[in-house]
Amino acid sequence: MEFACKDFKVGKCEGEKLVDGETMPLVLQPPAAEKNDTDSLVAALKENKEWFEEMIIKNSAVLLRGFDVGKCEGEKLVDGETMPLVLQPPAAEKNDTDSLVAALKENKEWFEEMIIKNSAVLLRGFDVKNAVDFNEIVEAFGWDDIRYVGPAPRTHVYKRVWTANEGPLSEFIYYHHEMVLIKESPKKVILYCEIPPPEGGETPFVPSFRVTQRMLEEFPEVVEELDKKGLMYSFTALSKNDTSSMRGRGWEDTFATSDPKEAEKRASALGMDLEWLPNGGVKAVLGPRTLTRVFDGRKGRRMWFNTMVGMHGKEHSSATMADGTEIPIKFVKRGEEIIEEESIQFRWQKGDVLFLDNMALLHGRRPSLPPRKVLVTTCK
């Protein structure tokens, strides 16, 4: 095995077995006779925490969980966690959807823990053929569905499965937490690649807490001021759907009604006020919303849970402080640069299924050459 740790020596034990290329158990010994005391051991463990945890996962994933841990181009180590965690079939003949669904059902809690721990899990190398297979994978977990509300035009495909944004492939869909402005956002966004694009079309994602960390280093006062005051947003929606625009979802589809009074009621339940425009469209105003948020179970990380960069100063949208004060342009610009610098992406392969922790990651879509078919589902 590849072995890259100077603080341990690999040993052997009676009864160990080689399973699918991994020795179980992995025996670790002192690197030298005089380093066998508990203090040295604790120091070595502290020094190699991430590596040691990887070794446990590498072995337990194969032995107990029915997955092998893989790698993908573009993955990053963020605060000790590999993003995304790549899970592959434990053996070539176990790559069918039935085996995968069985392994997921068997290891539901563990898998969910991995999504929270690593923020993103990529299932790769499984023969996931279509929306029906994808739906079965999602249903293995029993998570509740959550209905999409937002500007993207989407089409229903099968049961819980929808097309991802059908706006023009030539446009960049800017980084966002899914449904960040709605009272209840999905906990998980799950994407499936049926047709990988020939060029571009990645789904980059960004560890949200890193953006807050870096913005706090550069603009501590503005971050705190915005978090205290909150943000007000506005956006306009057309009357009918227009798939020639990536934010072309009309208000009728957005609020699932063609009755303006009903739309107002539904908008208000989502925390928005509607103003009707002479062209039949509508302007939605919402806020105040926080700049950052901390969610349970995410190590107290302060997430960049807003859509300031995406909506500030645009033709169809705006973002200001809740008291009407303009947000400094420099602050918005640096936010945009930092988000891009912190982004992680891989090239889609046919059959890939990507689980994103929507509380922890922003995601987007890079411009793409056709064809590209990525399907999506969102869960509570």
Q: Which is nearer to Fe ion, 103 or 374 (CB)?
A: 374
Q: Least distance in Å: CB of 175 to Fe ion?
A: 9
Residues that bind Fe ion (CB under 5 A): 178
CB within 8 Å of 204: residues ≥ 6 apart: 175, 343, 344, 345, 363, 364, 365, 366
Q: Which is nearer to Fe ion, 178 or 342 (CB)?
A: 178
Q: Least distance in Å: CB of 110 to Fe ion?
A: 26
Q: Least distance in Å: CB of 203 to Fe ion?
A: 9
Q: Least distance in Å: CB of 272 to Fe ion?
A: 19
In angstroms, the CA 102 to CA 273 distance is: 46
Provide φ and ψ at 318, rounded to 5°: -150, 160
Q: Which is nearer to Fe ion, 178 or 357 (CB)?
A: 178
Q: Which is nearer to Fe ion, 65 or 293 (CB)?
A: 293
In angstroms, the CA 85 to CA 68 distance is: 11
Q: Least distance in Å: CB of 102 to Fe ion?
A: 30
Under DSSP, the state recorded for 16 is: -
Q: Which is nearer to Fe ion, 178 or 253 (CB)?
A: 178
Residue at 204: amino acid letter: P
Q: Least distance in Å: CB of 172 to Fe ion?
A: 12
Helix orientation angle between 97-106 and 131-139, rounded to the nearest 10 degrees:
10
Contact predicate 128/351, CB 8 Å = yes
Q: Which is nearer to Fe ion, 75 or 178 (CB)?
A: 178
Q: Which is nearer to Fe ion, 96 or 145 (CB)?
A: 145
Provide φ and ψ at 255, rounded to 5°: -105, 10
319: exposed, middle or buried (C-beta count within 10 Å: 0-12, 13-18, 19+)? buried
Q: Least distance in Å: CB of 181 to Fe ion?
A: 13
The encoded tokens of residue 182 equal 């709605």
Q: Count, in order, helices (H) and strands (E) of the chain.
A: 11, 23
Residue nearest to Fe ion (CB): 178
Most distant CA pair in the chain, distance: 83
